[in-house]
């Protein structure tokens, strides 16, 4: 069934709209170029159902697969899959989660190739088990020439770690005489980040209702629009993604300036 886009000037009540109606709203206006998601709530989803936490992670992988498939029309989608702080969780949970992520990514390779999706990984490679890293790197290399959606997985990632690594890279340039300290500005820091060639997120979605950014893309989200939902990640559906984008499309982004017509 073909969906007619809703006009840019139309104001539609989003609450209660289904997936098809929300998609029509989204198609009626320019979409964000880059959406980032903090996928939170897997453990709570399982606990509330009397299940082991790993069951929540398995459902979370299914939700991620669904959202990636629904992300056509975006240029970049960044998913917070495993933070550097997650190593503090119980050893068994960490081991299971890493293996689950690696298997899920490898199994998605045919689908990623069919849909022309490029996979990139943000984060520190050291500390990750060799088998897990090899499996993920295989998919990264296999999809490197794909020109559709760029799917970035933040894996063993921490925003402060990224800034530390950027500072160290710039310090090495100064030490080598390739850069003067007074030449360091936003442009130089940007190119030293893991996301050097990627635009900052337009929209950051966080599930589970927590009101924090959890050490995620600290530099990049300076002016990113936030959308927080109480929905736990395994229950996050395509309609939720479209609703977040539709609400983003209604906002006025001022980047520190003043909205026209206001003092």
- In angstroms, the CA 116 to CA 149 distance is 7
CA 17, 201, 14: angle at the middle one, nearest 5? Answer: 10
Task: Say if CB 70 and CB 117 are below 8 A apart.
Answer: no
Q: Which residue has the tokens 């990640």?
A: 233
Known catalytic residue: 215? no
Count of CB atoms situated within 10 Å of the CB of 167: 13
Known catalytic residue: 145? no
Task: Say if CB 42 and CB 63 are below 8 A apart.
Answer: no
Instruction: Out of 86, 137, 146, 215, pick the active-site residue.
Output: 86
CB within 8 Å of 97: residues ≥ 6 apart:
54, 57, 82, 86, 89
Instruction: Out of 40, 200, 202, 240, pick the active-site residue.
Output: 40
Active site residue ranges: 40, 86
């Amino acid at each position: 069934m073909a969906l007619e886009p809703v006009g840019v000037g139309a104001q539609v009540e989003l609450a209660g709209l289904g997936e098809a109606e929300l998609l029509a709203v989204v198609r009626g206006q320019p979409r964000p170029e880059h959406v980032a998601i903090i996928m939170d709530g897997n453990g709570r989803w399982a606990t509330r159902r009397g299940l082991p936490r790993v069951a929540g992670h398995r459902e979370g992988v299914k939700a991620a697969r669904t959202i990636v498939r629904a992300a056509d029309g975006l240029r970049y989608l960044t998913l917070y899959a495993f933070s550097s702080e997650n190593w503090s969780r119980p050893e068994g949970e960490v081991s299971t989660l890493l293996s689950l992520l690696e298997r899920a990514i490898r199994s998605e390779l045919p689908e990623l190739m069919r849909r022309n999706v490029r996979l990139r990984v943000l984060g520190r490679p050291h500390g990750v088990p060799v088998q897990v890293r090899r499996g993920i790197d295989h998919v990264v290399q296999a999809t490197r020439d794909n020109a559709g959606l760029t799917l970035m997985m933040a894996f063993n990632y921490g925003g402060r770690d990224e800034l530390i690594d950027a500072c160290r890279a710039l310090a090495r340039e100064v030490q080598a005489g390739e850069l003067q300290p007074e030449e360091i500005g936003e442009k130089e820091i940007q190119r030293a980040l893991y996301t050097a060639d990627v635009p900052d997120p337009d929209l950051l979605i966080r599930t589970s209702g927590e009101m924090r950014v959890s050490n995620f893309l600290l530099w990049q989200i300076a002016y990113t629009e936030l959308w927080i939902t109480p929905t736990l990640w395994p229950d996050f559906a395509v309609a939720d993604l479209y609703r977040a984008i539709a609400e983003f499309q209604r906002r006025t982004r001022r980047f520190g300036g003043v909205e026209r017509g206001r003092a």
